[in-house]
Structure 1
Amino acid sequence: MATLKVPAQLPSPAEDSEQLRKAFQGWGTNEGLIISILAHRNAAQRKVIREAYSATYGQDLIKDLDKELSSDFERAVLLWILDPAERDAFLANEATKMLTANNWVILEIASTRSSLDLIKAKQAYQARFKKSLEEDVAHHTSGDIRKLLVLLVSTFRYEGDEVNMTLAKSEAKLLHEKIANKAYNDEDLIRILTTRSKEQLRATLNNYNNVFGNAINKDLKTDPKDEYLQLLRAAIKCLTYPEKYFSKMLRLAINKLGTDEWVLTRVVTTRAEVDLQRIAEEYQRRNSIPLDRAIANDTSGDYKSFLLALAGHDE
């Protein structure tokens, strides 16, 4: 359930690129015009606008936006205008860099994208960075975290609805045994989480809950400060209930002393065309405040206007 609102009467890509060009000219940039166009075009439409802009003006729209905009608003627009696969590749690469290292971003991309989208992101990664995502993840991580993340980014899960209930029961039992023995880095435990389809995993974890009387993530909370266990719990949430994971990320980003704009920007730009509506419903259910109001209270200026437009709430 996307929140993106695209107008019924759409200008041509040539008209859109001409308007964007106008927004850059004269005294100062017309940010409102940029928001009114880009925040209301889907990925395919943004791609043709970029092509039209390049064909007409011989310049890269991304580079021109980079020159004209600044701070959080700039980052949000630049992430948004990228093709989803390019965006994932960019975010994943940033997450493997020393200064911006972030295992959560890699986990998120590996666990909340469809199998096909993950492959597209990995192809975009190779095309842009001349390396594989797997090798960069392996190089920048170590130990159990490396084992988990490399397998998550390497997998190509079955996407259908077929579920083997016998397997779900036996694997629920196996997971329970491993966790009871604190064998959190056991190969079978990691294999089940990193290879099974999302529907199969749901069936296994429901069985785990029913038979052993506890949600698996509760049993994995033995050491709340252990990053590997945190990532393991997050992977389970991302694979089985992504809106719950993202609504928690937004709550943490917004409720901090000072907003975590990077997380806020990432969640809104990557989910606006996917399931931001569901995330917003989950957010309101858990925090008793609509997501758009929480964003509006915590941001300002063009950045606020842009995020709210992507969330389907133009000011």
Structure 2
Amino acid sequence: MATLKVPSSVPSPAEDCEQLKKAFAGWGTNEKLIIQILAHRNAAQRKLITETYAATYGEDLLKDLDSELSNDFQRVVLLWTLDPAERDAYLVNEATKRLTANNWVIMEVACTRSAFDLFRARQAYHARYKKSLEEDVAYHTTGDFRKLLVPLVSAFRYEGDEVNMMLAKSEAKLLHEKISEKAYNDEELIRILTTRSKAQLNATLNQYNNHFGNAINKDLKADTNDEYLTLLRATIKCLTCPDKYFEKTLRLAINKMGTDEWALTRVVVTRAEVDMQRIKEEYHKRNSVPLDRAIAVDTSGDYEKMLLALIGHGDA
């Protein structure tokens, strides 16, 4: 359920490139034209534009955008224009850097991409950074975080709907035992969360709820100050109801004293072509305010216009 609005007849990549070149020409940059083109092209179309731009002008579109734009608007346009697999590789790499170390972003990419998308992100990481994504995640994390995150980013889950109910019952029991023992970093618990298909996991967690009278995340709230437990709960949320996870991420980003633009940009850009419609519905339900209104109140200028266009707001 994407929100991206692509016109029914899209100009050729060559025409788009010509218009973008025009937007960069002269004294000021024509930001409106950049939004008009890039915010209304899907991933395949943006890839063609980038390739055509390089072939026609012998220049890198991303570098030109980088030098022409600034601040939050620059970041959202660059992230959006990147090929999704390269974007994910970049997000994980940024998340492993010591000053911005962010286990949540690593977990988010690992849990909310399809098996093939995650595989493509690992390939893009190889190509761009000349090492493996798993290697960097393992190097930059420690203890329980490493124990959970390395298998998460290495996963290649089955994507189908088939579910084994016997397995769901036995693994629900196993999860309950480990959680009752407070063995939150147990290998079996981590194995279930990092290898089972999302359909199988949902079945297991439903069994857990039915048999033990509590949702698993309620039982994992034993210590709200435990960072690993917080990440474990977020992992389960990401795997089973990503729209709720992203709604919360947006809510926290917007309702902070001062907006967390990085989180806001990341969620809008990575979900616009996936499930933004569901996230918008969840946001409205949870906050009694439409997401576009919340963004409009909290941001301004071209950055605001680009975000609104990506979430499919009216005439943006």
Query: Which whole-Å CA distance do the structure 2 matches of 1:51 and 1:88 have between them?
Result: 19
Q: Deviations over 1:137-194 (max 9, x none)?
A: 0000000000000010111111101100011011111101110111101111111111
Q: Deviations over 1:12-58 (max 9, x none)?
A: 10000000000011121000000000000000000111111111111
Matches within 5 A, 1:67-106: 67-106=67-106
Corresponding residue for 1:201? 201
Corresponding residue for 2:188? 188
Corresponding residue for 1:288? 288
Corresponding residue for 1:254? 254
2:99 partner SS? coil
Corresponding residue for 1:226? 226
User: Match for 2:249: what amino acid?
Assistant: M
Corresponding residue for 1:216? 216
Query: Which whole-Å CA distance do the structure 1 matches of 2:61 and 2:187 have between them?
Result: 47
Corresponding residue for 2:241? 241
Runs of 5+ consecutive residues of structure 1 not aligned to the other structure: none
Deviation at 1:223, TM superposition (A): 1.0
User: Match for 1:291: what amino acid?
Assistant: L
Corresponding residue for 2:63? 63
Corresponding residue for 2:7? 7
Corresponding residue for 1:115? 115
Corresponding residue for 1:302? 302
When the two structures are aligned, how many residues end up with a matched partner? Answer: 315
Q: Deviations over 1:106-162 (max 9, x none)?
A: 000000000000000000000000000001000000000000000101111111011
TM-score, length of structure 1 as denominator length: 0.99
Query: Which whole-Å CA distance do the structure 2 matches of 1:137 and 1:227 have between them?
Result: 17
Corresponding residue for 2:50? 50
Query: Which whole-Å CA distance do the structure 2 matches of 1:176 and 1:166 have between them?
Result: 16
Query: Which whole-Å CA distance do the structure 2 matches of 1:55 and 1:192 have between them?
Result: 47
Corresponding residue for 2:273? 273
Q: Deviations over 1:201-255 (max 9, x none)?
A: 0000001011111000000011112111011001100000000000000000000
Query: Which whole-Å CA distance do the structure 2 matches of 1:131 and 1:98 have between them?
Result: 17
Runs of 5+ consecutive residues of structure 2 not aligned to the other structure: none
Query: Which whole-Å CA distance do the structure 2 matches of 1:114 and 1:56 have between them?
Result: 34
1:64 partner SS? helix
Q: Runs in 1 of length 4+ with deviation above 3 angstroms?
A: none
User: Match for 1:59: what amino acid?
Assistant: E
Query: Which whole-Å CA distance do the structure 2 matches of 1:63 and 1:109 have between them?
Result: 25
Corresponding residue for 2:153? 153
Query: Which whole-Å CA distance do the structure 2 matches of 1:56 and 1:198 have between them?
Result: 44
Query: Which whole-Å CA distance do the structure 1 matches of 2:252 and 2:41 have between them?
Result: 29
State the percentage of identical aligned residues.
78
Deviation at 1:288, TM superposition (A): 0.7
